C-alpha cells in the first residue's frame, strides 16, 4: 500500500512524515515521529492514555488516522514542559503522588490541561466528569483529582498576581 | 488496519463515487475504527466525510436547524441557539462517550452505526428530524426513523451517505428531553433511553407529543400510544401512568449483562415518564 506524505504542526514545530494510510495517528506519533508519550492502553477509545490535542480539541489519537493530521496543529505531552520547566499540572502530579506506574499520566495531563485551558475554576464534579475518559488502574483517582484541583488553584493565583 | 486505503473527498460527488466503489463512510470514526480494528468489519477503503462540503457546522434556516452530518457532538453542546431550541437532542448527543469521544463522534455516525442503544437517535426521532441523504440519484430527504432497519443495518443504498440532519422550526410552548439509564455515571451503554418532544397549548394542555425509546428493541421505537395517553390532558399522575403502560407495551428488549427483559421494560416506562415531565416543564417555561 502506498504511504502518504503528511505535513502538520506538532508542539509548535512543522513536521513532515510518511505513514500508511490506515495507520492510527497514535502509531504515527510513536513510530514515525518518536513521540512515545502518548500510550496505547486499549486502542478503542476507552482509556484515554493516547489523549492529544488536535486543533485545540482533546481527542484519542488511537481513534484518528494519520492522514487526518494533514495541516492540523497537534499538541502532545512532549510539548507540555516549557523551557525545561514542568507545567504546574506536572509538578502537582509529582507533589500529590498522582501516579504509580505512570501509564495513564501523559493522557491525564493532556486532558487536565485541556480542561483548565477552557475552565480555570472547575468544580471537583466537573473535573471528574471531564476526566471520565481517562482510566487509571493504580491511583484510585483521588490523588489525580487533588493534583488537578491544586494546579488549577495555583494557575488562578499566578494569573491574578 | 494500517493497510487500508484512506480517501478524504471534498465534494459530495466525489464522496458518492468513492462510496459507490465500495468505500466505507467515516465521520468521527469512533465506531468504525474500533470495529475495523477488532475485525468485526471486513477491511475496506475508508472514505472520510469530514472534508465534504456541507458535513460540518450548525446553521439555522427558515426557523429550522441544519446540522452537518459529521459535526462533532461537542459542537452541539457549545451552540447556545441549538441548546435553547432542542435541549433534548443536545442531551442525547452530549451523552455519547467521554470528552475525547465528544470531539469526534457525530450524529450521522451514531445513527448509521445502527446500534439499538445509540443515544442521539430517540431524541432525533422524537424531534421529527430528517436526514438529507446524498447518493448517485441526487438528494432525498428521509425521516430519521427510516434510516435504521435493524441491528447494524440501514436503508442507505450503494454510494449513499447522510449529508445533513435537519430539525424543524419550534412552535411556542414546545420542548424536548432525553434520558438514559446506565449502570454507572459515565462511559457506558444505555440499558434503556427515552426521548420526548411535546407541544402545549396556551392553557398548558398537551397538543402534540412524540415519545421514542432506545435500547429496548432492535431499533429505536416510537411509543404509539403516547398521543392517546397525553394529548388533550394536563400533566398529572394519571397521564404519566397511561404513558408508562404505553411505553412498556412497545418494548421488545433482550436480556444481557446490563439488564433483563423485565428490568429494561420497567425502566423504559420510568424513563418515558421522566423525559415527558422534563420536556413538559421546559415547554411551560416557554409560554
Ligand atoms: C469510548 C466510547 C464510548 C462511547 N459511548 C457511547 C455512548 O455513550 N452512547 C452512544 O450512543 N454511543 C457511544 N459510542 C459509540 C460512538 O461514539 C457513537 O455511535 C458515535 O456517534 C459514532 O459517530 P462517528 O462519527 O464516530 O461514527 P463513525 O465511526 O465515523 O461511523 C459509524 C458508522 O456510521 C457510518 N457513517 C458515518 N458517517 C456516515 C454518514 N455521514 N452517512 C452514512 N453513514 C455514515 C460508518 O460507515 C459506520 O458504519 C462510544 C464509542 C466509544 C469509542
Ligand atoms: S489507547 Fe486510545 S483510548 Fe485507549
Ligand atoms: S498510574 Fe498506573 S494506570 Fe494510572
pLDDT band at A159 (very low <50, low <70, confident <90, very high): confident
What are residue B280's phi and psi, to 5 degrees?
A: -60, -50
Quick one: A72 and A105 in the same domain? Answer: no
Place of cell 430519521: B144
User: Which of A29, A60, A79 is the last residue before a domain boundary?
Assistant: A79
For ligand 1, the distance from its centroid to the CA atom of residue B106, given in whole angstroms, is 6
Complex confidence, ipTM: 0.97
CATH number at residue A14: 3.10.20.30
- Same structural domain for residues A106 and A47? no
Give B178-181 contacts, CB < 8 A, sequence gap 24+.
B178/B88, B178/B89, B178/B91, B178/B92, B178/B95, B178/B119, B178/B122, B178/B123, B178/B126, B178/B275, B179/B91, B179/B271, B179/B274, B179/B275, B179/B278, B180/B95, B180/B119, B180/B214, B180/B215, B180/B271, B181/B267, B181/B271
The pairs formed by B31-36 with CB atoms below 8 angstroms and a separation of 24 or more are B31/B109, B31/B110, B31/B113, B31/B115, B32/B109, B32/B113, B33/A24, B33/A62, B33/A63, B33/A65, B33/B1, B34/A44, B34/A45, B34/A63, B36/B1, B36/B4
> Is the pLDDT at B1 greater than 80, yes or no?
no
Domain of residue A27 covers 3-79
- φ, ψ (nearest 5 deg) of residue B59: -145, 160
Q: Greatest CA separation found in chain A?
A: 56
Determine the pLDDT at residue B3.
81
Q: B26-62, pLDDT tens digit by residue?
A: 999 999 999 999 999 888 999 999 999 999 999 999 9
Residue in B closest to A59 by C-alpha: B100
Helix (H, G, I), strand (E, B) or coil at A137: coil
Q: Is A125 on the interface with B (CB under 8 A)?
A: no
Q: How confident is the model at residue A1 (pLDDT cuts 50, 70, 90)?
A: low
* Second CATH level (architecture) for the domain B176-285: 2-Layer Sandwich (3.30)
Return the residue matching grid coordinates 457506558. B188
Nearest CA to ligand 1 atom 43: B161
A57 pLDDT band, cuts 50/70/90, is very high
Out of A79, A109, A133, pick the residue that ends a domain: A79
Instruction: Kindly report the pTM of this predicted structure.
Output: 0.97
On whether both A99 and A154 belong to a single domain, the answer is: yes
**Cell triple for residue B270?**
420510568
Q: Which residue has the cell 424531534?
A: B127
Cβ–Cβ contact A40 with B under 8 A? no
Based on the fold, state whether residues A42 and A73 are members of the same structural domain.
Answer: yes
Q: What CATH code is carried by the domain that includes residue A110?
A: 1.10.150.120
Domain shared by A8 and A42, yes or no: yes
Distance of residue A36 Cα from the nearest chain B Cα, in angstroms: 18
Q: What is the DSSP letter of B259?
A: B
Going from N- to C-terminal start, the domains of chain B cover 52-167, 176-285
Average pLDDT over residues A122-141: 97
Residue A94 and residue A75 in one domain:
no
Cβ–Cβ below 8 Å for A65 and B48: yes
* Whether the predicted pLDDT of B68 surpasses 80: yes
If one counts the domains in chain A, the total is: 2
A153 shares a domain with A120: yes
Q: Which overall architecture, per CATH, does domain B52-167 show?
A: 2-Layer Sandwich (3.30)
Boundary-marking domain end, from A17, A44, A79: A79
pLDDT tens-place string over residues B170-222? 999 999 999 999 988 777 889 999 999 999 999 999 999 999 999 999 999 99
The whole-angstrom separation of Cα B203 and Cα B229 is 18
Give, in order, the Cα–Cα distances in Å from B187 to each of A46, A54, A58, B77, B260. Answer: 8, 22, 16, 18, 20
Same domain, residue pair A103 and A44: no
Whole-number Å distance between alpha carbons of B265 and B248? 5
Amino acid at each position: 500500500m502506498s504511504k502518504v506524505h503528511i505535513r502538520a504542526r506538532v508542539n509548535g514545530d512543522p513536521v513532515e512524515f510518511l505513514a500508511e494510510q490506515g495507520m492510527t495517528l497514535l502509531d504515527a506519533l510513536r513510530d514515525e515521529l518518536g513521540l512515545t508519550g502518548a500510550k496505547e492502553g486499549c486502542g478503542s477509545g476507552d482509556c484515554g492514555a493516547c489523549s492529544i490535542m488536535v486543533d485545540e480539541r482533546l481527542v484519542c489519537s488511537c481513534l484518528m488516522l494519520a492522514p487526518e493530521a494533514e495541516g492540523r496543529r497537534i499538541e502532545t505531552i512532549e510539548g507540555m514542559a516549557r523551557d525545561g520547566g514542568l507545567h504546574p499540572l506536572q509538578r502537582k502530579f509529582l507533589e500529590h503522588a498522582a501516579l504509580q506506574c505512570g501509564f495513564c499520566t501523559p493522557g491525564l495531563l493532556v486532558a487536565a490541561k485541556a480542561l483548565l485551558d477552557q475552565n480555570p475554576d472547575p468544580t471537583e464534579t466537573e473535573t471528574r466528569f471531564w476526566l471520565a475518559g481517562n482510566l487509571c488502574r493504580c491511583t484510585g483517582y483521588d490523588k489525580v483529582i487533588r493534583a488537578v484541583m491544586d494546579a488549577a488553584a495555583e494557575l488562578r493565583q499566578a494569573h491574578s498576581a | 488496519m494500517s493497510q487500508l486505503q484512506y480517501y478524504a473527498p471534498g465534494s459530495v460527488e466525489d464522496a458518492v463515487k468513492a462510496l459507490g466503489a465500495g468505500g466505507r463512510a467515516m465521520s468521527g470514526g469512533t465506531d468504525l475504527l474500533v470495529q475495523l480494528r477488532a475485525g468485526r468489519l471486513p477491511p475496506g477503503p475508508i472514505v472520510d466525510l469530514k472534508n465534504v462540503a456541507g458535513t460540518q457546522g450548525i446553521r439555522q434556516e427558515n426557523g429550522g436547524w441544519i446540522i452537518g452530518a459529521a459535526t462533532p457532538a461537542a459542537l452541539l453542546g457549545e451552540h447556545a441557539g441549538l441548546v435553547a431550541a432542542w435541549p433534548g437532542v443536545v442531551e442525547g448527543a452530549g451523552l455519547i462517550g467521554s470528552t475525547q469521544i465528544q470531539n469526534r463522534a457525530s450524529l450521522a455516525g451514531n445513527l448509521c452505526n445502527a446500534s439499538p442503544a445509540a443515544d442521539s437517535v430517540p431524541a432525533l426521532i422524537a424531534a421529527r428530524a430528517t436526514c438529507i441523504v446524498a447518493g448517485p440519484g441526487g438528494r432525498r430527504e428521509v425521516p430519521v426513523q427510516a434510516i435504521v432497519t435493524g441491528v447494524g443495518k440501514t436503508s442507505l443504498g450503494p454510494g449513499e451517505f447522510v449529508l445533513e440532519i435537519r430539525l424543524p422550526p419550534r412552535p411556542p410552548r414546545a420542548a424536548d428531553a432525553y434520558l438514559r439509564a446506565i449502570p454507572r455515571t459515565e462511559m457506558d451503554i444505555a440499558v434503556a433511553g427515552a426521548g420526548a418532544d411535546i407541544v402545549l397549548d396556551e392553557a398548558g394542555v398537551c397538543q402534540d407529543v412524540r415519545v421514542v425509546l432506545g435500547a429496548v428493541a432492535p431499533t429505536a421505537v416510537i411509543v404509539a400510544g403516547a398521543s392517546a395517553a397525553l394529548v388533550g390532558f394536563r400533566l398529572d399522575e394519571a397521564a404519566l401512568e397511561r404513558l408508562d403502560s404505553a411505553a412498556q407495551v412497545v418494548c421488545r428488549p433482550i436480556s444481557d449483562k446490563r439488564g433483563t427483559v423485565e428490568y429494561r421494560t420497567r425502566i423504559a416506562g420510568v424513563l418515558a415518564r421522566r423525559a415527558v415531565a422534563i420536556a413538559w416543564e421546559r415547554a411551560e417555561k416557554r409560554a
